Structure 1
C-alpha cells in the first residue's frame, strides 16, 4: 500500500510538472498558459485539489481565474447553482409552478411567483446592465467584469462537458440546467448585495396593487422584521493585536453563521494569478471572488452589521390620482413597471401572467406586509435602497484579497465602498487590528431624521434605526459626504472604526462594544444603537476574548480552542440558580402552562451537574436549552433580578429571578416535552442535535442564540424527529489565521457542511465529520505545502 501511494504521488507531481513546466507553479503556470493560448482569448486554468476537495486554482489573468472558479464550483455545486440561476432568470413558476417556494437564499420571496416578479422586474429594467456600464469607481472595474465573464465561461464549459455525468438527483437530467451569461453572474452578486434592502421587501414590492387601508405596525414589528431578515445570516469575528500574541503578530478568528443548504452556502478555494493575486478563503456560491479569507500578510472576516441599509419615504398622494404623489406641491406620476411571468399550471400548460409594480423617484412603492403599510387616497410608502444602485461587492472583495496590511484594508474599503450589509474585522502579520462598519448606508444623519421624520418615522428611527422621511419635501433627500463614491450615502470617514485595539470583536451587535475598554460612540442611529442591552452571544464573546487578550501569549491553537470551547454563557449565569429553584419546589413538582402538576425533580440534579457547555457529549445541555428558550420567550416572565445597566453592559442583566412563576412553568413544560418525545432528560446533546449524511448520524455541537454560544448551530425543533435534527444554519466557513515570520501563514480552516451538496460526492460530509469532532484543516497555502499533499490531484481545465 505504501509503495502504491508513492507511485500515485510521483504521478501527481509529474503531471503537475508536465502541465506547468516546473513544480514551482506560480512562476511558470502563466508562461505555459500563454504558450497554450495562441489566440490570446481561450481561457484555461490549473486546479490542484488537496485534502477535502479544496481546489487551488492558478491562472494567468482574471478571466481565466474566473473560469477556473466557475468550473470548480460547478463540479461541487452544479445543482444548487443551476437552481439559483432559474431564480435569477425569473423562471421558477415556469419550471416548478407558482406556489412553490425558493430556498430564500437570493431574496425573501415566499413563493416562486413573487420571486419571478421581482427578478424579472430587475431584468426588464436592465438594472444590472446599466450598473456594469458605469465606469469605476462608481461601477465595477475591468478586473471584476473579467472575473464574471470567466466564471460564466467556466460554468458553461463544465456543463457542456459533464452534463451527462451528473449523479446528483437534485438536477440529474433536468431541463433547467442551461448555460449562463456574464450578466447572470453579475445578477447573482447584485441579488446578494440587496439582501439587506429590496430583497427583504419582495412581497411588499410585488403585491402593490392598491389601494389598501391599514394602521402601520408599531416599532416592535420593525425589530421582528429585521430579526427575520438576519435569521439566517450572522457571524462572529475577532482580531487580536501583536501585544496579545506569542510572537507579536496578529491573529484572526472568523466564524460566519450562514445556511447549511441552498444558494447562500460558502465554498472554499485558493485563487492565484502569479505576481498579482494569491488568496484563500470562502466564496458565496456563484461569486467569482473570495469574500472572507487570508493571504500571506492579512486575514479578514465579515459580520452582519446593525446598520439599516435602506429607508422609507412617506408619500402624499395627489388628490384624485392614486398613482401620483406630491413633491414640493407638484404632482409626479408613478411609473408602472409591468412584469410578465410564464406560469406552469396544474395541467402542465404555461400561460403568461402580468402584474404591475409601481415606482417613484425614491424607489418602489411597498404596501402591506409585516409593517402593514397602507396605500390609499392620502398616503403611500416608497423604499429607498442605495445598494440597489451599486455593483461593487466583487471589487471590495478583490481589494481586500490584494491588501498587505490593515492600512491597505482601510484603503481598499475607502476606494470601493461596496460592502452592503457587513462589518469587517481584520488582522495583519505586523500585529495590527481593525474593526470597521464600512457598509453602504443612506446618509441619514440624526439631524435629517429629526427634521424630516414623519410621525411613523419618529417611532421607527429612534427605536430601530429605520428612517421614514417626508417624501413630499425635496429637502428631505439625504445629502452626500465629500468622500462618498455614491450620491446620497455616507463616506468612509463617517464609518465607526477601531484600529490597533488589543482585541476587536463583533457578534452582530452594534459597534459600541467592539472593545469593551474602548467603546465606540457618536455615530448616527442608522449605524446601530449604544447604551442598550447586548445579546447573550455578544456578552459571552466579550468575556471570552477579553480574558484571552489579558492572558496574552496567544497562538492559532488558542483560536481553535475558542471556536470549539462551546461555552454556554447563559448557562453560566442561570443554570445553578435554576437547579436550586428546582430543588426547592415543594414535592419536586411544578405547574406547567396547561395547569397540570409535573414531577421535575429528576431535572434538578441534571441542571446542577451540567458542565455548562454545548458539546456533543454534554449531558444537560439539551435540557437547559429547551428550558431557557421557553423562559426567555415567555412575554410574562421577568427573567433577571438585576436589570441591564449601561455602566456595566457585559455583566448585566444577571441573577435569575427564581421568584417568578415562569421559571417553574418553563421547567414543567420542558420536562413534559422531552418525556413525551421519549428523550431522556440527561441525553447527550449530540444524540438530539445532528445531521444525517447518506444515512449516517453525525452529532453536532454548538448552541442557539439564546444560550450565547460562540459556535452557533440552529435548526427547527421537532421532537418527533429526534429534536434538533437536520441542522440547517450556523458556523460555516471558519478560519483561524496567524503568522510565524515565514512566507507562509499559519492557518486552519473548516467548511462545516463540506464542499459539495451532492450526496454522491466524496466531499459531501467529510468536513462535517471534522466539525463534529472539533477538528480543523491545516491550510495548504504555500506551494511546498500544496505539493506535499498526499491527496494531490491536478486538473487542467479549458474551454475546449
Structure 2
C-alpha cells in the first residue's frame, strides 16, 4: 500500500530541509481514516494526515463545508441527470434545451462509462485520494443533513453521496473542458440523412408508459422539445477555441533576476468566480513527506493545482495548444456510414443513449443516436450553416487528446511532492496528466523553468510540415482557430501523445513568463520556435496583456533591476494597461482637435464626442478604484483593432514594442465615438471613478429565491482588451444549476448585441478574473508567501467566508500573508476538527 520516494526535503510539519528517504503511504492501515483540520483566518483549512487516503478524507470534508453545492451539481452533470431534476432547459421554460444537450453530451463523451472502466486500473495513490475524498465529502453530508446544507442546495433531492467513480468521471470531464466539452453541441447535431434525423425521440421505457398512463401528452411535449432544439440549431454559433474567458498570467523568476538570488513565482490565474472553475485554497501536510499550499479547482481530490512547498513554487496559464483535431472523412458513394481510410473502408458506428427528462411532476425517457469513427465522435454544424456538414461525400469527426485522463491526479501529486527541479521535471516525464495549461516554475536554488506539456497529439513530422505550409490547412486554422485534417489517410494519424522531449520547455536563470500567448515568447532573450503547430503559432504578434507583462518584467524591479517580492506584488496589482500607455495621449489629442463636430458611425448615428473627450483628459491611464473616466477608455479598448488602429505593423525582431503608434485615419475617432455612444445609452457619468461603477456583488440564495445581495464592493482592475495585467470581467461562466444574478447589458450601438465589455446601466458587475493570486519568494528559512482568493473561500451565502477576502481586495487591492509554517498555523487557528472514520 505504499512506495518509497527519494525527495529533496519537501518540508513536513517542521519544514525539515534535510534530504532523506521519505515513505508515502497510499491507503490508511486497516482502513481507519484520520485527519486533523485547522482553519485559520479567512477560512483556510490546513489538513494533516499520515497517508493519502486520510489526507483526501480531511480535504473532502473541508471542501464540502465550503462548496458542497458546487460539486453536488457537477456530479449531477456527469451522471447526465440535469434534465431529470430540472427539466430540459437551463433557464426554465426558455426553450434553450441546454440540459438535454448536456445530459446527452456527457453520455456521448462517455465520461461515466470510462470512469467505471478505468477506475480499477488507476494507481494506488489516485484511488486512495479519490476514496478518501469522497468519504470526507459524504461524511460532511451525513453529519450536516441535506436539509441543513448551504441555501443553494438545501433539501434538494439531487444532493446525494458520491462515489470515487463519479468523482473520476468529473475529473475526466474537467480534462476535456477545452476540447470534447466544446463540441457537445456539434455532436448533438451530427447525423446522416435529413436535417431532423439528429433529434431525440421517445424511448420505450417504463417511465414513458407510466407517464402515458397519467395522461401526460408526451407527443405534444416531445414535439415542443424538438421545436426548441430546432430553434437552438438555427441560432447556433461555432465553439470559440480562443478561450478568451479562461486566462492567466504567470512568472517564474530565477536567480539572475531576484534580489536574494533565489527563485520567485507570481501566480495570477484569471478564472470564474462562480461554478466549478473557481479555486479553493488549502494546505496539505503528511509530516516528513508532503507540505504544500495553494489553490485547486473544485473537486480535485487532495492535490494542489497552483501552489508551493518548502523548495519549489509553480503556476499555470491556459495554453494556446490544441488538445484535439477534427478530421474530414471521405464517405463511400452509396453509404453515409462508411468512410475511406488508406483505400480501405471503415464503418461509422451508432450508439443510442437515453436520459430522463422532467415533465411536470413526472418524467419521460428520451433516446438519441450518436455516431463514432475510429477517431471519436462525429460532429456537424446545423444545416443552415453549412460549415461542417454531413453531406453525401464527407463528414467530420473529433479526435480528443484530453479524454480518459487517468494521469491527472498522479501528475499533480508528483508536482506537489517535488523538492527540486529534477523531481519537478520528472513529473512531466512520468505523466501526461496536465490537460490544458502551461507551467511556470521557480525554486529555492534560483532556477526558472517553463513547459507546455498539455495533452497534444503526436503527429508525424510530415503531417506537421503540411499543417504549416498547405494553404488550405493554414486557412482553415486561421479561420476557425482549430485544425481540420484529411481523414482519408494515415499520414495524419497520431501516434499517441507528445512526449516530454517533444514539449516546448525552457530553463532560464532570469525569467520565464506566459499570459496565454503561445510558448514562443516565454523569454524574449531566447525565443522558441519549431515545435508542433498544435502547441500554437510561433513568431507571431503578442497580445496587449502579454506585452504588458513583459513590460512589467523590464521596468518594475526598481533601481537595482532585481525583483523583491514586494516589487512583484506591486507590478501585479498596479493596474497599468498597455494600450493606455501606448495611445491615450494621442487619442486625447485627436479627439480634442476634432472638437464638437459630430462623428458619424457607419450606421448613420451621429455622436458628439467632445464631453467624453474632455472627461478622458482626466484619466491617469491606471485602472485603480479612484481613477476618473477610465470606463471611457475601457469601452474604446473594446472597439480598438490592432491591425487597423496601429499605424506601425508587427516586427518579429521587436515583438514587445510592435505594433505601435495610434493611426490618424478617421476610423480611430469612429471607434471612440461608438464607445462614447454606448456609455451615453448606459446613463453612466463620463466623470465617474472606476470604484463607483465597477464592483463585485454576491448572489444571496434563500427559500424565496436568488437575488443580489445589495452589498457592492468597489473593484480595481482592467480587462484583457485594455492590455491590463490584473484582469477582471463581467463574463458569464457559471456552469452550475443554481442561479447567479446578473444585470442586463447595454446593447451595442453598432451590432445590436450585448456589450462584450459587460457594460450595464449599473456599470460593470465583476464575476471573473484574477482569482487565486500569490507571490512567493524563497528565503534562507523557506518560502515567504502572500496571496489572496478574491472571491473568497466559500460559495455558501450563509458563511462568514463568503466575502471576507472579497472585502479585503476591495479595501486594500493587496495580497495578505499566507500562513505556512506549523507555528503560524497554531498561532492563528480559528477552528479545529479531529476527523476519524471510527
TM-score range with shorter-chain normalisation?
0.7 to 0.9
Distance 1:430 1:326, change over 3 A: same
Answering whether residue 102 of structure 2 is matched by residue 115 of structure 1, we say yes
Shift of residue 449, structure 1, vs aligned partner: 4.0
- Of 597, 617, 628 in structure 2, the residue corresponding to residue 619 of structure 1 is 628
Q: CA deviation at 1:758?
A: 1.3
Matched, 1:797 2:832: no
CA distance in 2, matches of 1:586, 1:684: 24
Instruction: Check the 8 A contact 2:529/2:539 in 1, yes or no.
Output: no
Cα deviation for residue 300 of structure 1 reads: 0.3
Please report the TM-score for the alignment, with normalisation by the length of structure 1. 0.87
| 2:516 is the counterpart of 1:477 | no
The answer on 1:310 being equivalent to 2:310 is: no
Shift of 1:226: 6.6
Q: 2:546 aligns to what?
A: 538
Matched, 1:710 2:749: no
Instruction: Output aligned runs, 1:178-193, within 5 Å.
Output: 178-193=160-175
Structure-to-structure mapping, 1:195-594, within 5 angstroms: 195-211=177-193, 227=240, 230-288=243-301, 289-345=303-359, 347-368=360-381, 372-445=387-460, 447-450=462-465, 457-461=473-477, 466-479=482-495, 488-548=496-556, 551-587=560-596, 589-594=598-603
Cα–Cα, structure 1 residues 122 and 656, in superposed 2: closer, same or farther, change >3 Å? closer
Offset of residue 167 of structure 1: 5.1
**Other-structure match for 1:218:** none
Q: Structure 1 residues 475, 679: CA separation in 2 closer, same or farther (over 3 Å shift)? A: closer
Q: Distance in 2 between matches of 1:766 and 1:581?
A: 44
In structure 2, C-alpha distance between the alignment counterparts of 1:509 and 1:552, rounded to whole Å: 25
In structure 1, distance between residues paired with 2:710 and 2:323? 43
**CA distance in structure 2 between the partners assigned to 1:596 and 1:788 by the alignment:** 64
Alignment match of 2:129 (pick from 138, 144, 147) = 147
> Where does structure 1 lack aligned partners over 5 or more consecutive residues?
1-22, 28-36, 103-108, 135-139, 214-223, 480-487
Does the Cα contact within 8 Å between 1:251 and 1:738 map onto a contact in 2? yes
Return the structure number with greater helix share: 1
Alpha-carbon distance change, 587 to 549 in structure 1, aligned in 2, over 3 angstroms = closer
Task: Give the 3 Å change call, closer, same or farther, for CA 46–655 of structure 1 in structure 2.
Answer: same
Q: Which sections of structure 2, spanning at least 5 residues, go unmatched?
A: 1-11, 17-26, 196-236, 699-708, 732-743, 747-758
Residue from 750, 753, 756 that aligns with 2:794: 756
1:678 matched to which residue of 2?
A: 683
What is the aligned residue count? 734
Where does residue 751 of structure 2 map in the other structure? Answer: none
Q: Please give the alpha-carbon distance, in whole angstroms, between the structure 2 residues aligned to 1:740 and 1:25.
A: 16
How far apart are 1:25 and its partner, in Å? 8.7
Return closer, same or farther for 1:648/1:101 CA change in 2, 3 Å cut-off.
farther
Tell me which stretches of 4 or more aligned residues in structure 1 moved more than 6 Å: 23-27, 452-455, 462-465
Q: How far does residue 592 in structure 1 lie from its aligned partner after superposition?
A: 4.2
Could you tell me which residue of structure 2 aligns to residue 83 of structure 1?
73
* Equivalent residues of 1:590, 1:667 under 8 A apart: no
Contact 2:575/2:716 (<8 A) preserved: yes
Deviation of 1:630 after TM superposition, in Å, equals: 2.4
Within 2, Cα distance between the matches of 1:544 and 1:711? 12
Quote the residue 2:639 is aligned against: 630
- Deviation digits for residues 369-405 of structure 1, max 9, x if unmatched? 6882111221111111122143211111111111112
Secondary structure of the structure 2 residue equivalent to 1:610: coil
Deviation at 1:617, TM superposition (A): 1.3
Segment drifting more, 299-308 vs 160-169: 160-169
Distance change (3 Å), C-alpha of 1:509 and 1:458: closer
CA drift of 1:458 comes to 4.7
Segment of structure 1 superposing worse, 548-557 or 320-329: 548-557
User: Which of residues 642, 648, 653 in structure 2 aligns to 1:647?
Assistant: 653
Cα deviations by residue, 1:300-326 (Å, 9 ceiling, x for unpaired): 001111111111222121232211222
2:131 equivalent to 1:126 = no
Task: Flag the 1:196–1:168 CA change in 2: closer, same or farther, 3 A.
Answer: same
| Inter-CA distance 627–692: structure 2 relative to 1 (3 Å threshold) | same
719-728 or 453-462: bigger deviation: 453-462
Q: Tell me if structure 2 keeps the 8 A contact 1:465–1:526.
A: no
Tell me the distance in 2 between the aligned counterparts of 1:442 and 1:557: 41
User: Does the 8 Å contact 1:208/1:356 carry over to 2?
Assistant: no
- Cα distance, 1:275–1:340 mapped onto 2, change above 3 Å: same
Distance 1:251 1:226, change over 3 A: farther
2-side partners of 1:658 and 1:26: how far apart? 60
TM-score (normalizing by structure 2): 0.83
Q: Is the Cα contact below 8 Å between 1:501 and 1:515 reproduced in 2?
A: no
For the residues of structure 1 that align with 2:533 and 2:387, how far apart are their CA atoms? Answer: 23
Alpha-carbon contact 2:350-2:370 (below 8 Å) kept? yes
Give the Cα–Cα distance (whole angstroms) in 1 for the partners of residues 397 and 355 of structure 2.
23
Judge which range, 663-672 or 751-760, deviates more.
Answer: 663-672
**In the TM superposition, what is the alpha-carbon distance from 1:680 to its structure 2 partner?**
1.1
Tell me which of 37, 62, 69 is aligned to 2:59. 69
Within 2, Cα distance between the matches of 1:204 and 1:456?
A: 22
Tell me how large the CA RMSD over aligned residues is.
Answer: 2.6
Residue equivalent to 1:603: 612
User: Residues 96-107 of structure 1 correspond to what in structure 2 (within 5 A)?
Assistant: 96-100=86-90
1:740 positional shift: 1.3
